[in-house]
């Protein structure tokens, strides 16, 4: 990923927090000599620096991914930035966004107990507290049966990049103008970018 120095986010905890909050990513690898990608939820083990996920076995991407160096992409809020918001017409529009790219080698999970633990972690991360749903003795056999239809994997992280493109290359005054305009837009993405810009305004 092309990351100019003023957009680079290198704090590991910030990057890991981002993955935890935007865990529905895209995993890129090569299948049959061509690029392949799957949208899927991924969970992060911070202590070991590993991403966990699973493919449907009908998805052929898993069949030759073992041992490959793959790329997982996580996308945060993003928004068009109009040049009409600036103080001068001598400008051009752009797009602000936040993204994290994770690189690492993929290993398939062969142990059924490890796969079940990964599924349990996924449910715990995304299930609403108090929902009453979990993987336990009431549905364990059912989940084990369905697990025959998936291929679990783990990606050992060897490189991680974060890009926080939030107009840091513009003056504080111009950034404040952009924030004010974004906050008027009835869009979660626009408001998300406005909040991130405000959080980094003094950097």
We report the CATH number of the domain holding residue 58 as 2.30.110.10
Q: What is the pTM of this model?
A: 0.92
Q: How many domains does the chain have?
A: 1
- Residue 187 in any domain: the answer is no
**Is the predicted pLDDT of residue 136 greater than 90, yes or no?**
no
- Residue 198 in any domain: the answer is no
d(CA 94, CA 83): 8
Q: Mean pLDDT over residues 99-123, rounded?
A: 93
Comparison of pLDDT for 170 and 139, the residue scoring more: 170
Of 54, 57, 28, 29, the residue nearest 41 (C-alpha): 54
* Span 70-94, pLDDT tens digits: 999 999 999 999 999 998 888 899 9
The confidence band for 11, taking pLDDT boundaries of 50, 70 and 90, is: very high
| Bridge partners of residue 73, in order along the sequence | 26, 101
**What does pLDDT average to over the chain?**
93
Domain range holding 134?
5-169
> Are 36 and 61 contacting, i.e. CB atoms less than 8 angstroms apart?
yes
Residue 191 pLDDT: 97
- Residue 184 in any domain: the answer is no
H/E stretch holding 14: helix 12-21
- Residue 201 in any domain: the answer is no
């Amino acid at each position: 990923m092309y990351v100019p120095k003023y957009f680079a986010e290198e704090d590991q905890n910030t990057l890991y927090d981002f993955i935890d909050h935007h865990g529905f990513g895209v995993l890129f690898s090569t299948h049959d000599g061509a690029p392949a990608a799957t949208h899927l939820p991924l969970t992060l083990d911070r202590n070991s620096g590993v991403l966990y996920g699973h493919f449907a076995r009908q998805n052929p991407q898993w069949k030759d991914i073992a041992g490959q160096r793959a790329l997982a992409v996580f996308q945060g809020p993003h928004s068009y930035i109009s040049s009409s918001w600036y103080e001068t017409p001598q400008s051009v529009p752009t797009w602000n966004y936040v993204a994290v790219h994770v690189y690492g080698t993929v290993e398939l999970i062969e142990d059924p107990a490890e796969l079940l633990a990964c599924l349990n972690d996924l449910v715990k991360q995304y299930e609403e507290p108090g929902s009453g749903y979990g993987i336990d003795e009431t549905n364990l056999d059912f989940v084990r049966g369905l697990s025959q239809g998936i291929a679990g994997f783990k990606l050992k992280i060897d490189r991680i990049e974060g890009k926080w493109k939030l107009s840091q290359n513009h003056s504080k005054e111009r950034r404040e103008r952009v924030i004010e305009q974004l906050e008027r837009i009835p869009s979660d993405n626009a408001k998300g970018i406005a909040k991130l810009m405000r959080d980094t305004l003094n950097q």
